[in-house]
Amino acid sequence: MTIDRLDARLLRVPLTRPWAADVTSVGVIATHVVRSDGAEGWGFSWTPQIGAEAVHALLQHDIAAAAVGRSAVPGEEWQALWEHLHEAGGGGVTTIALAGLDLALWDAQARAASSSLSALLGRRRESVRAYGSGVNLHYPLDELVAQVQRWVAAGFPAVKIKVGRPSLAEDLDRVAAVREVLGPDRELMVDANQRWDLDRATRSIDALAAYDLAWIEEPLRAEDLAGHTELARRLQASSGVPIALGENLHTRHRFEEYLRAEAAQIVQPNVVRVGGITPLLRIAERAEQHGVALHPHLLPELSGQLALTLPDGIAEPWAEVVEDAGFAELGALTVPSPVIVRDGRLTEAPHLGLGIRFV
């Protein structure tokens, strides 16, 4: 059973709530694979603003040409194809593009078995926790508070907001206002999106810790392994706030380096950025071995399904639900969403394969 054909097309999906002045849409590269036995699968690659055209070109030219005639069993050719693409970079656009094929192959495998993805992989839980999330650093305080109030009204037991305003005083005011809305029983996560250096991160996190943070996400430049290792040491000796990172690590090899260095207590692989389901499953195995929590990053329509299958040795995962950014909410799908988020829990709706087909 081999890959007979791979097609890709580029879509630009408008965002209801812009993530920044220049981020008003997200790029989706919808993929379609046909196997030699006639089975079909549909997948996708994704990048919010930068690189969608490059990803599309890699899929159309380099990946399609290299993939046709290879095994269509999910995962069997992933390493060989990654090595083939490595000349263009070990991660980034190459792994994002490779995810388009990997996801389509897993979809075809599940559809051929008349199964959902989670059933094919082995579902270990019927639901997972979900938290409200938003790209909201640019929101005025009243708009941020109103967003958090909507999440509370929707039943989310936890929320995540952005930090990293020009002054620490601004961050403290915003986090204090959010904690007041949440009360003491809901969890609060904050995300600095790589905005700080080591000393600024240390000062900021120690001050923000007064508001009972569940984690600090991407406090430093994502590639700064030494900095995260030192920050983890400092925080362990002071506030104890866990470090979460991973959305901008693009290979399982990088995750392994961070896990070995104990640079993070929580890893957050993005299923597309790491190259698909195949490498994410390997990252989950390593996270379990290191005793580190894993909460998949964004894309709850797919990440939520994968969270249901994560190893039992991993703490119960969170699914991230960004307000008004789901593919179904944005009108990007031809089918209903394969997941349902209600009262702070994510469950699956009946579907085959990934259950994700783009218009």
Residues designated as active site:
162, 297
**Helix 225-237, helix 252-260: angle, nearest 10:** 40
Q: Are 267 and 288 in contact (CB under 8 A)?
A: no
Burial of 334 per CB tally in 10 Å (0-12, 13-18, 19+): exposed
Among the listed residues 235, 304, 221, 290, the one whose alpha carbon sits nearest the alpha carbon of residue 262: 290
Ordered DSSP codes for 114-146: T-BHHHHH----S-EEEEEE---TTS-HHHHHH
Length, in residues, of the chain: 359
- Residues 293/298/304/309 CA torsion (nearest 10 deg): -40
Q: Which residues contact 125 (CB under 8 A, 6 or more apart)?
A: 307, 308, 316
Question: Could you identify the residue written with the tokens 């986090």?
Answer: 175
Burial of 37 per CB tally in 10 Å (0-12, 13-18, 19+): exposed
Integer Cα distance of 128 and 318 in angstroms = 6
Q: Which two tokens stand for residue 104?
A: 């389509």
Integer Cα distance of 102 and 76 in angstroms = 10
